[in-house]
Chain A
Amino acid sequence: MEESQTCVEVKDLVKTYQRGQVRALDGVNLSVLAGEVFGLIGPNGAGKSTLIGCLLGLLRPESGSIRILDKPADYLSIRRITGYVPERPDFEGWMTGRLFLKYHHMLSKCTATTRSSDIEESLREVELDPSAWDRKLGTYSRGMLQRLSLAQCLIGSPKLLLLDEPTLGLDPTGVAVVRRLASSFRSKGVTAIINSHQLDEVERECDRVAFMRQGRIEQVENLRNSPVGSFPLFVRWTDGETISNNTANLAALAQSLGISIKEANRCWARFVVSSGAQAAQLIALLIASGYPVEEAVSERARLERLFDKRLEDAPHE
C-alpha cells in the first residue's frame, strides 16, 4: 500500500438525531491517507463518535458520502479489513477471553487452521495475562476488558482500525501497549483513526489530528511538521556529580546555537528552542560535551494549546 493513497474519504457528511433536531455531523469533509495514524479530538458532543459510527457503517448518514479504499463503508469486503475498538467494552459475561476472540475470528471469516495461533498472538500483543485467557469475562476488570477489546480488533490483520477511546480504563502498562500498537500500525502500513480525549497520547501516537466541534472539522493539524514558533525542551542527564556544576558552561553551549535557558539545575535544564532541528543540534552538542543525556522531552503540548485556542475562539453560546 502506497503512503500517498487515500484510505478514507469523507465528503459533506451530515448525520442528524431526533428527527433532524440535533445535527451531530454538519458537513464533515475528511481525507485520511493509507498508513496514517489519524486523531480525532474535540469537546464532548462534537460528533467524533458519530463520525466513527458512520465510518463503520453502523450509523446511516442523511447525506454526504464515505469511501474506504474507494468503496462504500458498509461493503462486506471493507468490513473484512476493518477493526474496531468500541467505546464501551460491554461483552457477554459467560464467555472466556479466548472464546470471545474465537467468536470474532469466526465472524471475520478468517481461516480456521490458524485460529488458535491467531488468537494467542492477539492476546500476547495486548499483554493480557495468560491466566485470564480462559476466565469468564464477567470476572474481568475494566482494564482487562479494554485489552481484550484491543485484541479483538487485531483479529483478521485489519488494514483500517477505528479506535474509540482506546486508553480508557487502562493502567500505565496498558497505555504503553496502545502506544506500541500505534507505532506497529505505522510500520505495517495500517491506517488508524483514534478518537480520544487523552491529548498527550494523541500527540504521541498520531501523524495528523482533526479538531471537531459542533459536528464540524474546524482544523487539521499535522503533528509531524515542525512547530511554528519556539517551544520549551526539557533535558535531563545522569551523573551530575562528574559534570562540572557550571551553569555558565551550559549557557555558553546553548548560546553557541542561539538557544536560551529558561531554568537549569545540576541534573536538568529547560531550554527554549525554535525548531525540532535546533533541538536535535542541542542534544547532540550536550552529548558531545560530556552530558550523559537520559531524557529529552519537547514540552510543546501542541494539542492542548490547539484545544484551548479553538475553545477560546468559539463563539459563546
Chain B
Amino acid sequence: MNRAILLFTTMSCFLDQIKVAYVILLGFVVPIGMKWVSLIHGVAESQTFEMLTGSVGVAFILTGLCLGVAGNSAVAGGRGGECLPLLFTRPLTRTEYVLTKWCAIALICGLIAAAQNLVVALLGMAFGEEWTVSLILGQMLERFLDAGILSAAFMLTIFARHWLFQTTAIVAFYVWLIGQTLPPVSVAGPGTVGGDQVSLGATDLLLKASQLIGDIILPTFHVYDAVNAVHFPWGEVLSYVSMTLIYLTFAVAVTNKRDFFYGTN
C-alpha cells in the first residue's frame, strides 16, 4: 500500500471540483431530494430512487470518482488526469499503484454511499418510517462491499484498453444495469394470452438472463439478509470474493504488461 497514492487519491476526491459536484449531485441531491419529496407527499419510493441508493447508485458515484483516475480514457498519455508515465518513473510498482488506487477508491466510494444510505434512513425515521440499527448498518456495509467489487471491475476496464474487452465490458455493464433496474412486476399476469403472453415471456426471460449474468459478473452480498438467515450464505461470500479477486488480478496483470507513454501508439 503506497501512502502517497492513498493520500492524493483521497485529496483528489474531495478537492477536485468536478468530482465533488458530480458526487454531490448524483450521490446526495437527487436521491435525497427524491426521498424528501416522496415522504412529504406520502407516496411509495420509485424504482429510480431504489437505483440511486443501491449498487447502481454506487456505480454512478464511482464513475464520478474515477474521473481522471489513471488518465481515464487516455491512459496511454495520462492526459486530463494523473500523469501515469510520470508516476511510474518513481519507485512505485504498478501492482502497488493498482491495489492502492482500488483500496482508496473503494473506501471513499463506500463511505459516500454509506453516508447517503444513513441520511436516507434518518430522513425516513424523521417522517415515521421504521428503521432498525441493524438494517441501517447492514445497508451501509453492503454499500462498502458494492464499492469494493465495482471499483475492482472499474480498475480493470480503465487499464485494459483492448477494443474487444472494452466492448464486452460495456455490454456486460448494461446487462447488469437491466437486471438491477427492470421492475419485476411487469412480468406478472396469469391471464394474458397470445402476443401479450409472448411479450411477457420475453421480458421475463430477459430479466432472468440479465439478473443471472449480473449475479455472475457483479455478485452482491446481502449483509442484512445474511445476518438474519438460518444458514449463512457462504456461496454468496465465495462468489463475491472470487470475482473481486479475479478483477484485481487481471487489472494488475494488464497494467504490468502494457506500455505507458505519450501516445506513441
Contact = CB atoms under 8 A, between A and B. Distances in A.
Interface of A: 17-18, 24, 49-50, 53, 56-60, 76-77, 79-80, 82-84, 86-94, 99, 103-104, 106-109, 152
B85 interface: yes
15 contacts: A18-B265, A53-B259, A56-B88, A58-B261, A76-B92, A80-B91, A84-B89, A86-B86, A90-B78, A94-B12, A99-B11, A106-B4, A107-B2, A107-B90, A108-B91
A60 B259 contact: yes
Interface in B105-143: none
A138 B95 CA distance: 29
A94 B15 contact: yes
Given A77-B91, A92-B81, 5 more contacts: A24-B264, A56-B85, A76-B91, A90-B83, A92-B12
Contacts, number: 89
Interface string B74-87: 00011111110111
B174 interface: no
A94 B11 CA distance: 9
A93 B81 CA distance: 8
Nearest to A53: B261
Contacts of A88: 77, 79, 262
Interface of B is mostly: loop
Nearest to A85: B86
B246 interface: no
A58 B260 contact: yes
A18 B259 CA distance: 12
Contacts of B257: 60
Nearest to A61: B259
Nearest to B88: A58
Contacts of B93: 76
A91 B16 contact: no
Nearest to B16: A94
Given A92-B16, A94-B15, A94-B17, A103 B261 contact: no
Nearest to B84: A58
Contacts of A91: 83
B264 A17 contact: yes
Q: Which 10 A-B pairs have the closest CB atoms?
A: A106-B4, A107-B90, A53-B261, A76-B91, A84-B89, A94-B16, A79-B91, A80-B91, A107-B4, A59-B259
B21 interface: no
Contacts of A82: 89
Given A103-B8, A106-B4, A92 B91 contact: no
A194 to B, nearest CB: 16
B2, B78, B262: most-surrounded residue (chain A CB, <10 A): B262
A92 B8 CA distance: 11
Contacts of B77: 88, 90
Contacts of B3: 106
B219 interface: no
Contacts of B12: 92, 94
Contacts of A106: 3-4, 7
A44 to B, nearest CB: 12
Given A88-B77, A92-B68, A94-B12, A58 B89 contact: yes
A57 B78 CA distance: 16
A191 to B, nearest CB: 15
A58 B85 contact: yes
A283 B138 CA distance: 86
B168 to A, nearest CB: 20
Contacts of A57: 88-89
Given A53-B264, A94-B15, A109 B83 contact: no
